[in-house]
Structure 1
Amino acid sequence: MPNKIENNTLIEETDAQQSNYEYNFFNTPWDDRTQRSKTCIIGLLCAIFVVTMAIVINNLVIFYKGFQTHSLIHDREIHCNVMRVDKYKYAARIHSIKSQELICVGAMVGASSVLANAVCLKSGPIRIYLGSLTSHRCKKGFGVNVIEPIPHDGVVTKKLVLLTTHDKMVYCGSLVRLGSSSFKRLAFIIGRPFRGGRTLSFQSATLARFDNMTSYNKGQSLERLINQNFICVKHLSKCEVRAGDLLIQRGRLIGIASTTPQKGSELACFANLSIIHDDLRELNIDVDFDTV
């Protein structure tokens, strides 16, 4: 008899537990749901599906764009020769102090002076680096103490700049002589690479005569414009010319790139440095200047 009472008590407790069980939005059986509840669940599932597909598609688009960008960079680098930054020790790397990025190149024309395009200053305070990336004397770079503008109509900014530091840079770099151009000799361009700052770009180019560029700048005396202010080059590879790049011929610096040429252009023009020799002399820069 007591055993029977205990069994009845157990059954009553089980029935009580089952009667106290409450259904909520998530565990209510489908057949017991109202039409509104079913609509909400279908809408929730559709929203989850749409969000998931949007994330997947967005990731695919980002990946595809990144792949295209990588392919473009790779394509440009195939046609852009690079060299060690210390191969030509007169080639100065001008870095932004804020971003630490290589923004321009210049040329060491004095023991403590670098000649560059004024556009190099547009990114704010700069620091100059020369020679080895590992030498304890050179890897910290040089601060700019004096900036001297040099008027020149061959650049968009209408001026070049002479950047002078109080430190001696001859331990890291070497001076380059300035020279005049010759159509009989091949030239080459040293510049900022498409990306990175541990190498410099290098490409050969042929000087272009003004009579082959009658459409370059209509309305002006082309012969006077090209001969006095510009030195233009042709037969460029796919390596992009940047504002400030150096034009070298016979081991002499003859030009500084005036501005970045238009995409796809096979012609690039440089500021003719043969017309600023006297300006450099007035700034007490004892440069070596050779004529052809």
Structure 2
Amino acid sequence: MAVELVHDFTLLHDDVIDGDALRRHRPAAWSLFGTPAAVLTGDALMVAALSALAQAPAERAGAAVQELVSTLLELVEGQSHDVAFEKAHEVSVADYLAMAVGKTGSLIGCACALGGALAGADTVRVGGLREFGRHLGVAFQCADDILGIWGHTACSGKPVGADLAARKKSLPVVAALTAPGAAAGRLRELYRASHPMEDAEVDLARRLVEDAGGRQAAEGEARRQMAAALRSLSLARPTVDGHRQLHDLACAMTRRAS
């Protein structure tokens, strides 16, 4: 419950930061109730998350709260890097992946680690669960970035192409911008321009990202992160049924872009 409250807090704030007016087919909170109400509600959810976790059994509550606090710091750092990328002229794939670990991987890693920690698992098994979640989170972010460019609003619940229109540097874009060739060069010109992108330019950017290999690179990174997640899961020594359930959940999360 604590992790879900933190997740909802980040969604409220993300929509404000990004200016996204749509969340899961419905108007974002800030667009209905105003930015101050959305920000304060997010703050309240974060406090409620810490309060809920503090009510765990006394012998485990301290470690659980520390796990969540560390995650909150990573989330803020990851989000700050994501915002900074919008103005940065050059962002490497390595920079992007480090941001994704903080923004998305840390929260899913926290969810997995807390399950083990609150159940009394040893540090090795908790570490395996944490790394499983962190790699899975990055794989999920890769799939989400692909959806943001080539998905469908009816399926994803988010405006497709909005990231390109805002010149956001998602993984397919970062990979394409740093690639050689004419398509990458033309994409760099589009991203360096200061005028608002029109629909035709968004469509052009989408084609250029794919032509420059951005989609292929993001799909490949999602597969690598998924493989790393499953290797980490083995360190947690789950039961056969537990391994199957976590494996199936991981596959479902990373198939969203297909």
Q: What interval of TM-score do these two structures reach, taking the shorter chain for normalisation?
A: under 0.3
More helix by share: 2
Superposition TM-score, scaled by structure 1 size: 0.25
More strand by share: 1
Work out which of the two has the higher radius of gyration on C-alpha atoms and give 1 or 2: 1
Superposition TM-score, scaled by structure 2 size: 0.27
